[in-house]
Structures are given as structure tokens and as C-alpha cells.
A and B are shown apart, each in its own frame.
Chain A
Amino acid sequence: MPERPPAIVARGIQRAFGRVQALRGVDLTVPYGEVTALVGPNGAGKTTLLLILATLLMHDDGGVSVAGHDPVEDPGAVRAKIGWMPDSFGVYDQLTTDEYLTFFADAYRLPAAAAARRIAELLELVHLTEYRHQPVHVLSRGQKQRLGVARSLVHEPEILLLDEPASGLDPRSRVELRDLLRGLAADGAAVLVSSHILAELSEMADRVVFVADGVTAGEHRLDELTPATHRWRIQARDPDDLAEALSAFGVTATEAGGGHEVELDGDDAAADLLADLVTDGVRVTAFTPLGRTLEDAYLDLTDDRR
């Protein structure tokens, strides 16, 4: 794939609401073909940043380019390329799912035939086909959220801006959302997702941007964040046996969550330990890697700022 300039480039974005300085200089790069996670505590300015990128709010200072256009100078050109889903949104309860999406297809100036095809495709994608002719108000919260995702995809945007898309979704829908976003990124779209659910982002995102107190606190590739040591949780039929064996192998373990947590130098060390434990006769029932790397990084960053 030829190298494309990044979908979103933001430098030193500032924005104040009255005397409250919401953004104090945010830098952000969102490349095509990847999922970028926007992570930060409540009130860090994630929503404000997404509103600026979505051409809804002006920034006071700094430079922004979305799909190669300035969202203030040429919002129309940006809107044609972006799909935006806010963290909470209303739907027109009285309309059917089909009418709801048709309105947005019209609003994005899709030709009628293409719109009908696209809507059928999207309803299939978010598993709402059977609700096609049902009024929107019969949908559950999670289904409405999925309808929102479908809405933001109506015009096949190259750039997706999603504010807490997973909130209110059941575990199955979350997995499906993750797969959907990964699929879109694989097809070349730039996806920017804000979320609190770090474990989930670590499975979904290629890159992570930390925002705290209105400033970019770090912009990393997720694999860079992977530390030298991993943590694993081990459980056995007889916890005492396990503890004994671990201390015999010279592995420091802490008791947590009904098992023992150990720090190991990567996957090979883990495989060796498991083999040793089994050979030693410890009846191991669970040997789980703990996906806490993103969370650790997040906690470190937000801790620094206190």
C-alpha cells in the first residue's frame, strides 16, 4: 500500500470554555489503516477534541487537518470523509430503523438506489436486519448504539471518530464492534476510538494516545508499550502445592484473585514455567496472561499528573 499522509494531524490544539481551559495543547496523529485509541480520565478533553475533529466546535489555537482539509475552513469537505458517533445521542424514536438510516443517507446525498443497498448492507453488519421495519424505540440501548454505528458508516467514511462506542454494549456486541472496527481499519480506514475500557482497547487498537488535563501525555504504538516482563495468573487444584512449587523454582509470586500472580520475562519463560509445574506434579487449572499493559501505562501517566 502506498504511503498516505495521516488521516488526522492535530498540533497544539487549545480550547477554552469560559474560564475552563479544556484543551491546553493536544497533539494527535491518526494514520489510515489503523485503530488509534484515545485514552484519558473523565474531563481530560477527549470529547472536546472529537467535537473539534468532527467539525462541530472551533478550536482557539493550534492546527488541525482532517482528511487533508481544515475543519474550520472547509467543514463540508471534512464531513464527506468522516463518520462521527457521539458518546450519547438521540434517535428519532418514531421512525423505523430503515427510515432513520434513509434520512442520513439522503443527508449525505447518497443516490436512492445506492442508499437502499448500503442500508441493507449496514443493517446486516450491525445485526439489525430483522428490525428494519420496526420503530427505533423498540430497540434496546445496545441495539441503538449499533444503529448509531451504522449511521456513522452510511456514507462509507474513510475516517471514523467514535466517542465511547462500547458503552452500553453487551459483551457479545463489544466483541463484534471490535471485529467491525478492525475490519474497517484493515480495509484502509482511519479509526479513532475513545474509551475507558482499557483491556478492550488493548485488543483493538494499534496505537494509543493518552490525554490528561487537556494535554497529550503520550502517543505510542501499542507494541512499544509492551514491557519486558509480563504478568501471569496461575491457579491450581491445590494452591499450597502451587505456592510450594513456585518458591522451589525461585519465582516470586503474589496471591491475588484466587490464584498466584507471577512476573516473567516473556512467553518462553512462561511456557517453561508451565512445563516445570506440570512435571513437578502441580495440577494446574489456569495459566492466564494478564493484559494489563495499557492499564499500567495509563495509571503511570495519570499518576504523574497529580
Chain B
Amino acid sequence: MTLSGIRTMARQEFRVRLRTGRWRTALMVWTSVIGLFSLLLWSALQWLGVTSSIGVTMFSTLMLFVLSLALLVMPATSAQSVNGDRERGTLASVQVTRLTAADIAIGKFAAAWGTGLVALALTTPFAGWAVLEGGVGWLRALAVLAVVALLIGVVCAVSLAASAVFPRTTTSALAAYLAVFALSFGTLIAFLLASALTAETVQRTYGERTVETRVPQTHRVWGWLAPNPYVILADAVPSAIPAGPAGYVLGFEAGRASQYAVVGPVIDPMEWIRNGVRGLRVPPADDYGAYGEYTPYGDAVAIDPRTGEAEDGGPVWPYGLAFNVALGAGALWITVRRLRTPMEEPPGGTRIA
């Protein structure tokens, strides 16, 4: 594996991609969709009369939308990379050159990721617009972009591996989409089912009443949610909400009307995800009588009685990000192995050349 070998392969992939004229159109459509979404979001917030920290809401929502769109589009760009070349009969000619399997795999990955980063770069004007609306620091904006960039890379690597493992392009595209689905929704489904299985009967005291309920012990199974790209993105970036008791997110205000007016509700979907997931790590409290109130989120979130803030079970993103980076690295390793020649078995049902 050499840097020049990787560069040769990546440049070739990039050139071939760019020559198919549809790429211009695809990137234009992508930018238009993001732009239209930003405009509609901004208008909606104006129409609703949301005034406080509109930038926070815009940025947070926009980046979750960009992540969704990227998860949807990225498999299409790389899930047919290896087996497509094989079908077109261009792979073997490259494999007999001095380029190694790692040169080819990493070159292809770099081109796919690069394409994703170009798409991400095209969203920066809109992200910048949200930042200029105020409330989001540049550091936070950069952190969000970096995490999205990393997650795009993981999806590219997984899609590339699918294209190297499956001989048919339709199968590999399906496999790549299933992988994205498993990360986005599969983790949620697994978490919900797993947490149902952890339910224990607990006696709870609400003031003078004692109630027996089944309570899921989510602090034992929160790990299922960690690989979720939305969780990672929302949890990894520094909070946009000002610190202190006044910094409530919408939803917590319902039970704490007294502090509603201090800052006003800051609508931050990332903060919702972040608080929700971190709350899952906190073992459920037995005694709710301590501050005599039932939290709106029930068992999921315990409120610290001293500060009035949601109790923080600690960050989830390091685990999720580690999982995803390992997944991407593993996918690349599989791709390299499948590209290694001379091969023992030709990929099922296809000719090598």
C-alpha cells in the first residue's frame, strides 16, 4: 500500500464519477433540497413566532436532516463500486497492475468519502445561515460537521464492503441500505425490545401513596442505542443551551412553569435526543417523593432535585462513535481482503475477467 497508489486509484474513481454527467445534476438537486428545507424551516419558525435562539433550532434540525439525507444517498454512491467494476470488466485489469488490494480499496473509499464530503460542503452555506441567526457557536457548528463527515465515511466504507462481498450490484445496494436501516432504526427497535425485557417490579412512593409498577431498567441496555448515528450526532456536540437552571428544553417546561419565562423554550431537537439518551443511563429512582413531583418523561428521566436539571447519565457518543469507527475500519478490512489476488475462490457466479 502506497500513498501514490491510493491517489492514483482515487483520482481515477473521481474522474470516472465526474464524467457521468448526472453527477452535476445530482449535486444540484441535493443542494436545492437542502436549500429549500432551510428556507421552509426558517419560514415555519417565523410563522410560529419562535423568537428565542432561532439559530439553534434551525441548525439542529437542518443538520439532522442533512444526516438523514446523507444516510439515504451515500449507499447509492458506493454500494456498486467493486462488483460494478467487476461486471463492467474493468476490475481485473487494475488488479494485475502494481496497485495492491489496499490501494484499490482505500482509493475507492477515499473517492466515495470525498464525494460525500463535497455534498456536505455544499450544505455549509445553509448551516452558516443558521449559525448567523445566532445561538450556535462556530465551534459547535464545526463539531457537528465533523461528526456528520465521519458518519458519512462509515456509511461509505460499509457500502463499499457490501459491493466487495456480494457479486450482484442489486444485492450489495440492498445490503448497504439494510445496514443503514439497522443503524438508524434497528438500534432503536433493539433497544425498545431489550429494555422491555429488563423490566422489574418496583415499589414506588409518590408522597403518601405507594404504587407497584414494572419499570424497565434502561441503564442496562442503553448501549443498543449508542451506535445510532442520530444519537451520536446529537450527543457528541456541545450543548447549545445556556448552562444553569434556566436552560430548559421544550418539554421540561411543562412541569416547571416557573422557569418557563426566563429564557423561553429553546427548540433543539438534538438536545431532546441528547437528554433522552443520557437519561436512559440513569437508574430509575425509587422515591419520587423527594421532590414530590412526577416528571413528564416518567421513568426515563430523573430530575436532579438540587439543580432542577435532567440528571445526566454521562455521554453516550464515545461508545457509539467508537463502534462506528470500528465498523468502518472493519468494512475496509473486509474490502481489502475481498480484493486480494490471487484469489482462492472467485466471487460466486461471476467471472474474474
Interface residues of A (CB under 8 A from B): 17, 47, 51-52, 54-58, 71-72, 75-76, 79-80, 82, 84, 86-92, 94-95, 99, 103-104, 106-109, 151, 163
Set of chain B residues within 8 Å of A54, measured between Cβ atoms: 96
| A57 & B342 in contact (Cβ 8 Å cutoff) | yes
| A55 & B342 in contact (Cβ 8 Å cutoff) | yes
Beta-carbon nearest neighbor of B104 in chain A: A107
Q: Is B261 an interface residue (CB 8 A)?
A: no
| A56 & B98 in contact (Cβ 8 Å cutoff) | no
| B8, B98, B353 interface centre (most CB from chain A within 10 Å) | B353
User: Contact check: which of A17, A72, A163 meets B346 at CB < 8 Å?
Assistant: A17
Complex CA gap A12/B15 in Å reads: 44
Set of chain A residues within 8 Å of B20, measured between Cβ atoms: 94
Interface residues of B (CB under 8 A from A): 4-5, 8-9, 12, 15-16, 19-20, 88-90, 92-100, 341-344, 346, 352-353
CB<8 Å pairs between A and B, sample of 15? A17-B346, A51-B352, A51-B353, A56-B92, A56-B353, A57-B343, A82-B96, A84-B93, A87-B353, A89-B92, A89-B93, A89-B353, A94-B15, A109-B4, A109-B98
* Shortest CB distance A139–B (Å): 15
Set of chain A residues within 8 Å of B94, measured between Cβ atoms: 107
Complex CA gap A17/B351 in Å reads: 12
| A58 & B342 in contact (Cβ 8 Å cutoff) | yes
| B15 & A79 in contact (Cβ 8 Å cutoff) | no
Complex CA gap A103/B92 in Å reads: 14
| A57 & B352 in contact (Cβ 8 Å cutoff) | yes
User: Contact check: which of A17, A72, A87, A103 meets B12 at CB < 8 Å?
Assistant: A103
Beta-carbon nearest neighbor of A104 in chain B: B97
User: Contact check: which of B93, B95, B342, B352 meets A72 at CB < 8 Å?
Assistant: B342
Complex CA gap A134/B20 in Å reads: 15
Q: Answer whether A91 and B16 are a contact pair too, CB < 8 Å, given A56-B95, A104-B97.
A: no
Q: Answer whether A56 and B342 are a contact pair too, CB < 8 Å, given A79-B98, A80-B98, A109-B98.
A: yes
* Shortest CB distance B337–A (Å): 14
Set of chain A residues within 8 Å of B353, measured between Cβ atoms: 47, 51, 56, 86-89, 163
* Shortest CB distance A127–B (Å): 21
Q: Answer whether A107 and B352 are a contact pair too, CB < 8 Å, given A55-B341, A71-B342, A91-B90.
A: no
User: Contact check: which of B4, B16, B342 meets A75 at CB < 8 Å?
Assistant: B342
Complex CA gap A107/B352 in Å reads: 19
Beta-carbon nearest neighbor of B97 in chain A: A107
Complex CA gap A87/B346 in Å reads: 17
What's the A-B contact tally at a CB cutoff of 8 Å? 85
Q: Answer whether A56 and B8 are a contact pair too, CB < 8 Å, given A79-B97, A94-B20.
A: no
Beta-carbon nearest neighbor of B353 in chain A: A86
Set of chain B residues within 8 Å of A109, measured between Cβ atoms: 4-5, 98
Set of chain B residues within 8 Å of A84, measured between Cβ atoms: 93, 96
Complex CA gap A20/B152 in Å reads: 43
* Shortest CB distance A29–B (Å): 21
Complex CA gap A241/B298 in Å reads: 114
| A79 & B93 in contact (Cβ 8 Å cutoff) | no
Q: Answer whether A56 and B96 are a contact pair too, CB < 8 Å, given A75-B341, A107-B8.
A: yes
| B19 & A94 in contact (Cβ 8 Å cutoff) | yes
| A92 & B16 in contact (Cβ 8 Å cutoff) | yes
Q: Answer whether A90 and B89 are a contact pair too, CB < 8 Å, given A55-B342, A58-B342, A99-B15.
A: yes
Complex CA gap A252/B19 in Å reads: 66
Beta-carbon nearest neighbor of A71 in chain B: B342
Complex CA gap A93/B4 in Å reads: 24
User: Contact check: which of A75, A99, A151 meets B93 at CB < 8 Å?
Assistant: A151
Complex CA gap A278/B66 in Å reads: 90
What are the 5 tightest A-B residue pairs by CB atom distance, in nearest-first order? A94-B19, A90-B89, A107-B97, A86-B353, A90-B88
Set of chain A residues within 8 Å of B95, measured between Cβ atoms: 56
Set of chain A residues within 8 Å of B97, measured between Cβ atoms: 79, 104, 107-108
Q: Answer whether A92 and B90 are a contact pair too, CB < 8 Å, given A58-B343, A75-B341.
A: yes
Set of chain A residues within 8 Å of B4, measured between Cβ atoms: 106, 109
Complex CA gap A94/B19 in Å reads: 6
Set of chain A residues within 8 Å of B16, measured between Cβ atoms: 92, 94-95
Complex CA gap A95/B88 in Å reads: 14
Set of chain B residues within 8 Å of A91, measured between Cβ atoms: 90
Set of chain B residues within 8 Å of A107, measured between Cβ atoms: 5, 8-9, 94, 97-99
Complex CA gap A75/B101 in Å reads: 12
| A56 & B19 in contact (Cβ 8 Å cutoff) | no
Set of chain B residues within 8 Å of A55, measured between Cβ atoms: 96, 341-342
Set of chain B residues within 8 Å of A58, measured between Cβ atoms: 342-344
| A86 & B346 in contact (Cβ 8 Å cutoff) | no
Set of chain A residues within 8 Å of B98, measured between Cβ atoms: 76, 79-80, 107-109
| A91, A92, A107 interface centre (most CB from chain B within 10 Å) | A107
* Shortest CB distance B107–A (Å): 10
Could you list 9 further interchain pairs (A-B, Cβ under 8 angstroms) beyond the known A106-B4, A108-B98? A56-B96, A56-B343, A88-B89, A92-B90, A95-B16, A103-B8, A103-B12, A107-B98, A109-B5
* Shortest CB distance A73–B (Å): 10
